[in-house]
Chains A and B, each alone.
Chain A
Amino acid sequence: SQQGEEDPQALSIQEGENATMNCSYKTSINNLQWYRQNSGRGLVHLILIRSNEREKHSGRLRVTLDTSKKSSSLLITASRAADTASYFCATMRVEGAQKLVFGQGTRLTINP
């Protein structure tokens, strides 16, 4: 079953602008991860944020986590055409089997 809901479902911006994607989830989590997927290809792991962390950076990526609101955001700064892809959040739940459950994803298009 899908745990995460992402918005927007699709986002189109100009190169150089910042892109923000949001993810909401329903149950308590150990960590939340963001992945990128180019069309028809495998997943690329971007960043993992643990439940006791509030913000994490990796290059042009910034991830925030608000466990009280059960939400996370992924910010890509100074976007490039190569950032065009689908982005998914995935949560590792606290209870039950330790498995990653994916959100619906955001399709990001960067226009040159």
Chain B
Amino acid sequence: GAVVSQHPSWVICKSGTSVKIECRSLDFQATTMFWYRQFPKQSLMLMATSNEGSKATYEQGVEKDKFLINHASLTLSTLTVTSAHPEDSSFYICSARDDSAYEQYFGPGTRLTVT
């Protein structure tokens, strides 16, 4: 089956630093990937849609300068949380849409803790 990986699975960083999270589709090509954020005991909130070779589309209320997205290849999208603050601590989940099947597959998530 289609697999999406995320790296790292968890990360702890200090306030003010930047953290990069990778999302890879392992056995399919994905022109479109999605980034979600999930706070404890809450649902997934879509942050942005990442498109290979073009700018990401951000949901209302999501700061594009704070959450930098780069989709440089058909199998890799990265989310960089810049100048992280404790309120950015959350579970970040990516999803990749298979170009050939149009199915969407989710990664295992990355837990970010900002101290």
Contact = CB atoms under 8 A, between A and B. Distances in A.
Does chain A bind chain B? yes
Interface of A: 1-2, 35, 40-43, 45, 88, 97-105, 107
B95 interface: yes
A102 B95 CA distance: 13
B57 A97 contact: yes
Nearest to B32: A98
B45 A2 contact: yes
A88 B46 CA distance: 14
Contacts of B105: 45
Contact of A1 (B32, B60, B107): B60
State the 8 A-B residue pairs at the shortest beta-carbon distance, nearest first: A42-B108, A43-B106, A102-B44, A42-B109, A102-B43, A105-B43, A104-B43, A99-B49
Contacts of A104: 42-43
Contacts of B74: none
Nearest to A4: B43
Nearest to B109: A42
Contact of A99 (B41, B46, B93, B107): B46
| Consensus secondary structure, chain B interface | strand
A1 B25 CA distance: 25
Given A1-B60, A40-B91, A43-B106, A99 B43 contact: no
Contact of A41 (B57, B95, B108): B108
A34 B44 CA distance: 13
Taking each of A43, A97, A102, which has the highest tally of chain B beta carbons within 10 Å of its own beta carbon?
A: A43
A101 B44 CA distance: 8
Contact of A42 (B32, B43, B60, B93): B93
B111 A45 contact: no
B59 interface: yes
Nearest to A43: B106
B31 to A, nearest CB: 11
A45 B57 CA distance: 25
